[in-house]
Structure 1
């Protein structure tokens, strides 16, 4: 098993554990869950947390651990009881707000609510790694101003990650990792209490750009991850993601997609391979996946582009 596959395997174990725990605790089918492991112990899980049938009683408290949950509602939801270490209140959750729960506390909610949200599960160790890689002091924990803090950034990230939670084939490992890095970056400043200062981040060195681009070209048919790319360049994943964007003007995920389109165009104009065959060779999941990205990039379908090339 290579490094990237091993990382994805560990993340899959985390996703399965979180999904099963949510299902047991809230008496719902285990929700769709994906996870990203960035580096070291840095990891995060994203779940589609949804219930459309009111039930009696309270949720079963999850196993206490040094981790945090952020619930990002997609629709209004009214909980008659939200209990944190025995302190009870009623809560109306609203889209656009983030609801932070510390898993070292005993958290219970009434099961009478009908809800639909995206749930982030973030271990304390992951937050520590994120701060360390940025040269920042350790974040002792996450704290919200209130139970329900306005947070358009997390709401936007939840909407972006939702289609991937429901269908992991819709995105690459690089996209998922970039989203995880963005969440970590937001959390350590917004909820970690660290002053938000301007970080002077330079780009990659010429040899790092060359090595990263060569690695991408050699692995387009697979799923080159930010972790693997950062290892090629000898720097942390978070440093690599920021420096890559400074140097090339786009995220690693966007660059990978761009290079896949370029390879597809080359194959379409120089070979008789079918679009389905070309899609797989270039790292797309299927022909429709290629078609969506090609149309967005070129403004026309692969088939039409190919016919025009033949006419020329």
Structure 2
């Protein structure tokens, strides 16, 4: 699954090039109002007024084009059929043969909020963890599988990780805080699928893997600030943050004070 931001900042004549045909689907989630003179798809062509929060589903096995006279700002979610099959298998649900929408451009506030949530990762991927992006991907698949894939909502996972699985996951996170521990790697440590692990981890800890990683990075930073003479820049890098300002933002949110204030209070 790929998240991208597409913008057209000035009106221009002509049409977009048709995308390469593939067994995949694209959801275009509008961030601002856009008026297209024409959107062409197999069997029909129409003008479209796109409002924020509407989600437009395109099947990439067929060609489609849009007029470039509209200024637009969209988050596009691209998901190949192979990824749909893999994620459905991990969730233990039947195969989803494709996505379908009753209307072209329905209002989808959940997908709209997920699009806004992923924007920081699109704009500056170095400041978010892989686990955060993976978790948004899982949440997105959950939503589109039930909304556009014809899957009936059934029983949800109620059990969590076993004590030994939780210990292995936490040990792996501690050993890789300076890097970027992913849900895929954590799930592998526990012998589970990524989808199952992400839900079970939250059931057990009350946090997503991304939230846990940030909490542990801040905890390590607290210890280093209090017990070493390293600079905040050095501590930020050792703890897996991009730079001092990245450390500062998360530290303030978790600890309620800046790293400098913490140092003054504990030395």
Q: The TM-score by the shorter chain falls in which range?
A: over 0.9
**TM-score, length-scaled by structure 2:** 0.98
Unaligned runs of 5+ in 1: 1-43
- C-alpha distance in structure 1 between counterparts of 2:77 and 2:30, whole Å: 11
Which residue in the other structure is 2:50 paired with? Answer: 93
SS of residue paired to 2:28: strand
Match of 1:54 among 11, 14, 24: 11
How far off its partner does 1:105 sit?
Answer: 1.3
Instruction: Map Cα deviations across residues 123-164 of structure 1 (whole Å, 9 max, x no partner).
Output: 111111111111111011100121111111100000011121
Give the Cα–Cα distance (whole angstroms) in 1 for the partners of residues 255 and 223 of structure 2: 14
Tell whether 2:208 aligns with 1:208: no
Conservation of the 8 A alpha-carbon contact between 2:157 and 2:200: no
In structure 1, the partner of 2:92 is 135
Over aligned residues, Cα RMSD in angstroms? 0.9
The answer as to 2:32 corresponding to 1:75 is: yes
Pairwise mapping of residues 11-50 of structure 1 onto structure 2 (< 5 A)? 44-50=1-7
CA contact (8 A) 1:128 1:138 kept: yes
**Structure 2 contact 157–199 (Cα < 8 Å) conserved:** no
Which whole-Å CA distance do the structure 1 matches of 2:66 and 2:119 have between them? 23
- Secondary structure at 1:244 match in 2: helix
Query: Distance in 1 between the 2:67 and 2:163 partners?
Result: 56
Offset at residue 192 of structure 1 (A): 0.1
Structure 2 unpaired stretches of 5+: none
Establish whether residue 161 from structure 1 lines up as the match of residue 118 from structure 2.
yes
Per the alignment, in what secondary structure is the counterpart of residue 25 of structure 2?
Answer: strand
SS in 2 for 1:149: coil
The answer on whether the counterparts of 2:127 and 2:241 sit within 8 Å (CA) in structure 1 is no
| Aligned mate of 1:188, from 145, 152, 170 | 145
2:68 paired residue among 106, 111, 117:
111
Displacement after TM superposition at 1:201 (Å): 3.3
* Aligned-partner Cα distance in 2 for 1:279–1:200: 36
CA drift of 1:86 comes to 4.3
Aligned to 1:3: none
Counterpart Cα distance in 1 of 2:205 and 2:73: 38
Give CA-to-partner distance per residue, 1:58-77, whole Å, 9 cap, x none.
Answer: 11111111101100011000
Q: Count residues in correspondence.
A: 267
**1:86–1:106: 8 Å Cα contact kept in structure 2?**
no
Determine the C-alpha separation between the residues in 2 that align with 1:102 and 1:230: 31
The residue number in structure 2 matching 1:294 is: 251
Q: Any conservation in 2 of the 1:131–1:139 contact (CA below 8 Å)?
A: yes
| Larger mean Cα displacement after TM superposition, 280-289 or 56-65 | 56-65
How much does 1:200 deviate?
3.1
- Structure 1 segments, 4+ long, off by >4 Å, are none
Q: TM-score, normalised by structure 1?
A: 0.84
Aligned residue in 2 for 1:219: 176
Alignment match, 2:201:
244
- Determine helix, strand or coil for the equivalent of 1:125: helix
